[in-house]
Amino acid sequence: MKQLNLTLFLLVAFCYASNAQTKVELLDSLFTTLYSHGKFNGNVLVAEGGKPIFEKSYGKAEEQSGRLLTTESVFELASVSKQFTAMGIVLLQKQGKLKYDDLLSRYIPELHFYGPITIRHLLHHTAGLPDYMEVMDEHWDKTKIATNADVIKTLARLQPKAEFAPNEKYEYSNTGYMLLGSIIERVSKKSYGVYLNKFIFKPLQMKHTLVYRSRFQPQKLENYALGYEQDSTGRKVLPDSYGQTYYTHFLDGIVGDGMVNSNLEDLLRWDQALYTDKLVNQADKDQIFNGTTTLDGKKTAYGFGWMIKDSDKYGKIVNHSGSWAGYITFIERHLDHQKTFIALQNNAMRRTKIPSAEVRKILYGEKVEIESHKPIQVTSQSLARYEGMYASADLSFKIKIYVKDGSLYGHGQAEKQRPFKLDAFENQVFLYEDASIKMIFNPESHTMDYTQGTKKMLFTKE
């Protein structure tokens, strides 16, 4: 449920779109390329004015059976769930059952020792609470699946100190949204899932959306995408293969910071409803889609369950990502232009990417960069000409390039750096995609062009 870092390091060859290429062609080219390089496995929807212009599935829903994803497949949303938790709180406020500036202790008196923390602090991630996952990892009996009530009891027993005073600063907090989920339950006298279903999912006809804890309360769901992680050997595995003491198993009973499950169609319904007054009015949305001001006078970029960005180029953008138990999820809404991007992935690999920057460029007719490297077969003999020690004026350490077992390896000669295998592509391009490294060798000039993310350097062979 940790917020996923949205910075995207694509190793790219520049492919500028001609006027003849449509947005659909570019979007398909982008996601097909990502899928072919093991960077995307899931469903994507892009809409303008509420109408999908691109919707497609890439890859498998289940590795063992080979069952493919469809655009109706249901995914666990991870932290994208937080916007639904926040909406649940907003609706309770509208129903007159709570106020944003009520103290946390009014609804969860067991945590009275956290003092002046309010519901508003929880919504904006300015409460300063300790990370419940770290607390439970250290102190919980991992043979049991923990619930929100278990977390609250553990916090009440241990009374771990707050990280900072309320509203001192912004710091993303799963603990805050877990507690908001509990507040929904205590105030409404309904379970988190029942409340969201009654007041959000059913009114919006989100027929494929539910709160689902697959380990705590397993049930049969049609067209469900199983989440996969990458183990130490690089294989795709189900998180449950690590056993019941793995964190995604023993924390499966927690709601509020995650556990909403949905699909593309329902999330587009949700997106479009937020342009209307069906659930909330404009005054409510002004709170949902705006940050707060911390004690030092700084404005935060997180509203009620949404990250916020004001762009000179794209207008106001709100989005959220999620990462949990093999799922990587993302929803982005361009409020001034009614553009929507939804990506639901069921592979959490080291190479998994969310190409939000590229999608934005395509939507606004900008030049777009799409990876286009053709892999080639190599031999130890053909690779020998690249071997040697390379140095750059921009780095204090050198990189050793050598051949081992028919492959090219790089090894940064700095403390604790490990060797890494380079995949070979045409035009003397070599990639180590797990770290977004690209090397282009020029044996004639004894140089190597090195790129990592946005950093570019020239190395010379000694």
| Positions marked active-site | 79
Cβ atoms of 395 and 403 within 8 Å: the answer is: no
Residue 139 CB: number of other CB atoms within 10 A?
A: 12
Cβ atoms of 129 and 175 within 8 Å: the answer is: yes
Cβ atoms of 245 and 295 within 8 Å: the answer is: no
- Classify 447 as helix, strand or coil: strand
How many Å apart are CA 332 and CA 143, to the nearest integer?
37
How many Å apart are CA 194 and CA 208, to the nearest integer?
14
Closest CA relative to residue 316, chosen from 297, 291, 331, 333 = 333
Written as one string, the DSSP assignment of 300-331 is PSB-SS-EEEEETTTEEEEEEEEEETTEEEEE
Q: Which residues contact 134 (CB under 8 A, 6 or more apart)?
A: none
Strands 236-237 and 228-230: antiparallel
Closest CA relative to residue 112, chosen from 152, 77, 84, 85 = 152
Establish how many alpha carbons lie within 13 A of residue 424's alpha carbon, considering only the half-sphere containing its beta carbon: 14
Find the farthest-apart pair of alpha carbons in the chain and give their distance in angstroms, rounded. Answer: 76
SS (H, E, C) 345-410: ECEECCCCCCCHHHHHHHHCCCCCCECCCCECCCCHHHHHHHCEEEECCCCCCCEEEEEECCEEEE
How many Å apart are CA 183 and CA 92, to the nearest integer?
10
How many Å apart are CA 408 and CA 402, to the nearest integer?
6
Residue 84 CB: number of other CB atoms within 10 A?
A: 24
Question: CA angle, 442 as apex, 459 and 439 as ends, to 5°?
Answer: 55
State how far the alpha carbon of 436 is from the alpha carbons of 9, 286, 390, 422, in Å: 6, 39, 19, 11
